Structure 1
């Protein structure tokens, strides 16, 4: 594999690894928000922002953790035959099926970008009582989809190297 592709894989993997490790702690953010929601409903006036903020935290947790999940190979696979295949044959199958993932992520990124630009242009707000702006979470979704797309290409390059008998 050319040096530029090796460098791309190293950089994308390093960035997504670090972001994924940080996002692992997002579960504690969600727990804190939901704990505050329970405490405030029991002892004080209920907070308007807790449920929606927990939803935003959940979106950030999943979307930003997606590239790390792809990198670690913890995505779901149909393992009926795949587990018994050789690494080279797995890489061949993955290098074909990853194009479906790349297409899907491209469509998601296109839609997320369109939705984000609308949200920024018109100052879109949530239709709830709290009425937060929606553009911050939409920008985060665009960034997460972009990172997943970069990671999908990184996985494609690693699979192509495995097919050739190399490792990146």
Structure 2
């Protein structure tokens, strides 16, 4: 169990760092979006590249924030029934839904790798006035899905330990590694 504890800490640390990258991307999108609006409407000088880079950053945000959100239970759940369940019943429900999660992530990873390879070999770029390479962005998509898969696997093991009775308390699964710094 000591080894698995270290693995969980590593996954938590990865998810926290991805969350921090997502935070920077949100700030980037907000500040450059505001700058673009001011330049367009106040000075009649629209940019050729800001809109495209914001779209790029939004895709990156979706890729890096999934693992953070899953690790900190930030996804929306239908809590009408789930909230009243015991930790053991919640774990059983979560185990049942992880099959769909793994299937979705498998398809996203395999098809994402195929799309990234095709984009890399064709040196795909955006089609607007400023050609920005897309193959880097497409390579991040399977990486983000793999990060979510790691967090989902960690949660699956925690749920199995809860169902089998090895883990007695209902501990929050999110990482608190950076709480003292925030």
Q: TM-score, normalised by structure 2?
A: 0.84
Report what 1:20 is aligned to: 19
Structure 2: gaps (5+ residues):
172-182
Q: Aligned equivalents of 1:39 and 1:136: distance in 2? A: 29
Pair 126,22 (structure 1): closer, same or farther in 2 beyond 3 Å: closer
What secondary structure is seen at the aligned counterpart in 2 of 1:37? helix
Report what 1:34 is aligned to: 33
In the alignment, is the contact (CA less than 8 A) between 2:63 and 2:145 conserved in 1? yes
What secondary structure is seen at the aligned counterpart in 1 of 2:121? helix
1:100 aligns with 2:100: yes
Report what 1:70 is aligned to: 70
Q: Aligned equivalents of 1:32 and 1:71: distance in 2? A: 27
Report what 2:50 is aligned to: 50
Worse overlay, 4-13 or 149-158: 4-13
Q: Aligned equivalents of 1:134 and 1:21: distance in 2? A: 23
Deviations 1:113-159 (A, max 9, x none): 11100111110112222221101211222221110111111110111
Worse overlay, 75-84 or 41-50: 41-50
The count of aligned residue pairs is: 167
What secondary structure is seen at the aligned counterpart in 2 of 1:8? helix
CA RMSD between the two structures:
1.7
How far 1:13 sits from its partner (Å)? Answer: 1.5
Q: Which runs of 4+ in 1 moved over 6 A?
A: none
Report what 2:162 is aligned to: 162
By percentage of residues, which structure has more helix? 1
Q: Aligned equivalents of 2:99 and 2:4: distance in 1? A: 18
Structure 1: gaps (5+ residues):
none
Pair 164,8 (structure 1): closer, same or farther in 2 beyond 3 Å: same
In the alignment, is the contact (CA less than 8 A) between 2:21 and 2:64 conserved in 1? no
How far 1:44 sits from its partner (Å)? Answer: 5.3
In the alignment, is the contact (CA less than 8 A) between 1:23 and 1:64 conserved in 2? yes
Q: Aligned equivalents of 1:118 and 1:141: distance in 2? A: 14
